[in-house]
């Protein structure tokens, strides 16, 4: 079977900078194949036309929100993409400014050919107060922020330090995630979209923690390797205990009932499926986390203790973030 295609949804209210973010992403693909699916609220898809200046693989969906009036067209398009002989390394869906990015992500996850990479929401720091108090769009903007796995504050360069800090505070009041970055002309950390550290079935290593690739963003990566078996519910609870600072986690785990699972965590969203028998547990955690976060959470999870508890090591990457 072909591996699932990573799916990233970019949301944010009208004019927040979503298209600029995608165009910046397309200038730094590093050889990756990226397909962009753009929805615009109108008969003419202006955003798709702008993005086509940077990429030939752009699909436009017009006349409404992709998660409601043209939901059927979205599913048809996803099926067509997954059936390609040469599949993309990443599918980016730009949601219209008046849509719920979480619902769009849920539609995408109905097809097992895709794997949710994240929900990145752009927020115009300069207009955040004006947007949130608007009787017509304020609630939608709040909902977009609340469902994000990462927030990108745009136009902070037009604000003084006090105003920029105010915008960050407003976002953190509503967001589940604590992963907040400032965009620089649309440029954001590539780790929000790409997953070059994809988990593979572990074999032949001892119980320890090894650092991942360098992440030039202020994110940290912690890799758990253990000979222990974990309780599935307790493992899920452990991951959820620091989900507000977790961008994603992926890997394989041995369970106390003798089975093994492949797990994927995106912020507060957990997905686990049975997998073949493995010799060790290996899980990669990426986010604004410390090794103590993972150690403390897993220490509280019931697991077989036939050997000493697993060890953790983390790698710190300094960068600009909220």
Torsion on CA atoms 238, 263, 273, 208, rounded to nearest 10 = -90
| Domain carrying residue 27 | 5-192
| pLDDT 10s digits, 209-250 | 444 333 556 788 888 888 888 999 999 999 999 999 998 888
Same domain, 15 and 127: yes
Q: Which alpha helices (H) appear in the chain, and where do they start and end? A: 18-26, 46-51, 71-82, 101-109, 128-132, 138-146, 161-174, 232-240, 291-299
pLDDT band at 138 (very low <50, low <70, confident <90, very high): very high
More confident residue, 204 or 91: 91
CATH number of 273's domain: 3.30.1220.10
Q: Cα separations (Å) of 241 from 6, 58, 250, 293?
A: 25, 38, 16, 9
The DSSP bridge pattern shows strands 281-287 and 220-226 to be: antiparallel
For residues 125 and 167, is the Cβ–Cβ distance under 8 A? yes
Token pair recorded at residue 162: 């006090």
Token pair recorded at residue 97: 């400014």
Same domain, 135 and 239: no
- Domain total of the chain: 2
pTM of the model: 0.79
CATH number of 130's domain: 3.40.50.300
308 Cβ neighbours under 8 A, 6+ residues apart: 207
Instruction: Decide if 117 is inside a domain.
Output: yes
**How much is the pLDDT for 306?**
41
Same domain, 275 and 181: no
Mean pLDDT of the chain: 78
Q: How far apart are the first and last CA of the chain?
A: 40
User: Last residue of some domain: 172, 192, 212?
Assistant: 192
| pLDDT 10s digits, 298-313 | 876 656 544 434 444 4
More confident residue, 316 or 159: 159
Mean pLDDT lowest among 18-32, 250-264, 265-279, 305-319: 305-319
| pLDDT 10s digits, 253-272 | 999 999 999 999 998 889 89
Instruction: Decide if 304 is inside a domain.
Output: yes
pLDDT band at 57 (very low <50, low <70, confident <90, very high): low
More confident residue, 308 or 11: 11
Q: Which alpha helices (H) appear in 137-290, and where do they start and end? A: 138-146, 161-174, 232-240
């Amino acid at each position: 079977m072909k591996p699932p295609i990573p799916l990233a949804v970019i949301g944010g209210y009208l004019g927040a900078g979503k298209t600029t973010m995608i165009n910046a992403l397309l200038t730094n693909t590093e050889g990756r194949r990226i397909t962009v699916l753009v929805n615009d609220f109108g008969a003419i898809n202006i955003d798709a036309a702008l993005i086509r200046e940077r990429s030939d693989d752009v699909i436009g969906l017009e006349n409404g929100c992709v998660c409601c009036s043209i939901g059927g067209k979205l599913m048809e398009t996803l099926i067509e993409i997954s059936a390609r002989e040469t599949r993309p390394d990443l599918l980016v869906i730009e949601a219209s400014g008046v849509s719920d990015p979480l619902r769009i992500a849920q539609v995408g996850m109905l097809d097992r050919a895709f794997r949710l990479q994240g929900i990145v929401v752009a927020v115009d720091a300069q207009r955040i107060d004006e947007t949130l108090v608007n009787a017509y769009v304020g609630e939608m903007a709040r909902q977009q922020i609340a469902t994000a796995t990462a927030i990108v504050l745009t136009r902070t360069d037009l604000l003084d330090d006090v105003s920029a800090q105010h915008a960050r505070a407003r976002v953190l009041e509503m967001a589940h995630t604590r992963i907040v970055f400032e965009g620089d002309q649309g440029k954001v950390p590539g780790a929000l979209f790409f997953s070059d550290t994809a988990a593979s079935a572990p074999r032949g290593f001892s119980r320890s923690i090894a650092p991942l690739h360098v992440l030039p963003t202020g994110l940290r990566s912690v890799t758990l390797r253990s000979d222990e078996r974990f309780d599935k519910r307790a493992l899920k609870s452990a991951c959820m205990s620091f989900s507000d600072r977790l961008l994603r986690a992926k890997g394989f785990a041995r369970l106390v009932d003798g089975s093994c699972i492949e797990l994927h965590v995106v912020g507060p969203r957990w997905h686990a499926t049975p997998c073949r028998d493995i010799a060790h547990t290996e899980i990669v955690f990426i986010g604004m986390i410390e090794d103590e976060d993972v150690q403390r959470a897993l220490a509280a999870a019931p697991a077989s203790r036939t050997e000493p508890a697993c060890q953790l090591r983390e790698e710190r990457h300094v960068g600009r973030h909220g």
